[in-house]
Amino acid sequence: MKKITIPISDEAIRELKVGDSVLLSGVMLTGRDAVHKWMNDTFITKKRQPVGDDLEVFEAIKPILDGGIIYHCGPVVSGVETGDYKFVAAGPTTSIREEPYQALVMEHFNIKGVIGKGGMGAKTLKGCQDTPAVYFHAIGGAASLIAQCVQKVLAVHKLDFGVPEAIWVIDVKDFLVVVTMDSHGGSQHAVVEEKSQKVLDGLIKNS
């Protein structure tokens, strides 16, 4: 078991390999579909001009993401009406939904880790090699347990996206994850997919 504090250096990322169990501590952001599309369209491809608080939010999250982590998570949060935020559930979201954007977002913000479930595709794996970065697999079905790792909600941005889609800035301690895509081109998800395809092909052939 490795313990890593965020922000993470390139050297620490390159030391990680597929299969490594890691306890993460430090400040990270949550971000799902709306956030990735907003990042991409506003600041990377610049398909749209910044409006409202876009630039203010960009300046707030940029230093956190530099060497940091984005967590594919749509949390259940109490205290939204009062501002006394507390994570009740914080399970991972299926990551493949962010495949069109993830490599670009990692490169643009120098993100060192992505947390989610289910793995990602070839484009993100190439991004992990180039940035460098890793994909951390969180435990699905353990939303309440993961929420206990959240020591404090430090801020929230883009709450107009909705609670699950907003950018939550959280301080976590000993967040258990497993490296399933590394910066050396290793992907446990690709291995599983290849083995599954071989089994399927065999079943079809013998049917």
In DSSP terms, 170 is beta-bridged to 28, 153
**What digits encode the pLDDT tens for the residues 70-86?**
999 999 999 999 999 99
The reported pLDDT for the residue numbered 12 is 97
**What digits encode the pLDDT tens for the residues 81-105?**
999 999 999 999 999 999 999 999 9
Q: Which residue in 36, 72, 157, 189 is the catalytic one? A: 36
Q: How far apart are CA 128 and CA 12, in angstroms?
A: 13
Q: Is the pLDDT of residue 191 over 60?
A: no
**What digits encode the pLDDT tens for the residues 120-172?**
999 999 999 999 999 999 987 889 999 999 999 999 999 999 999 999 999 99
**3-class state of residue 193 by DSSP:** helix
Report how many domains make up the chain.
Answer: 1
> Has 72 been annotated as catalytic?
no
The reported pLDDT for the residue numbered 139 is 87
* CATH code for the domain in which residue 133 is found: 3.20.130.10
**What digits encode the pLDDT tens for the residues 41-69?**
999 999 999 999 999 999 999 999 999 99
The reported pLDDT for the residue numbered 196 is 43
DSSP string, 74-134: --EEE-TTTT--EEEE-PBPBGGGGTTTHHHHHHHHT--EEEEBS---HHHHHHHHHTT-E
Domain coverage including residue 105: 2-206
- Nearest by Cα to 101 from 115, 121, 118, 117: 121
The reported pLDDT for the residue numbered 36 is 98
Task: Record the tokens describing residue 11, joined without a space.
Answer: 């050297």
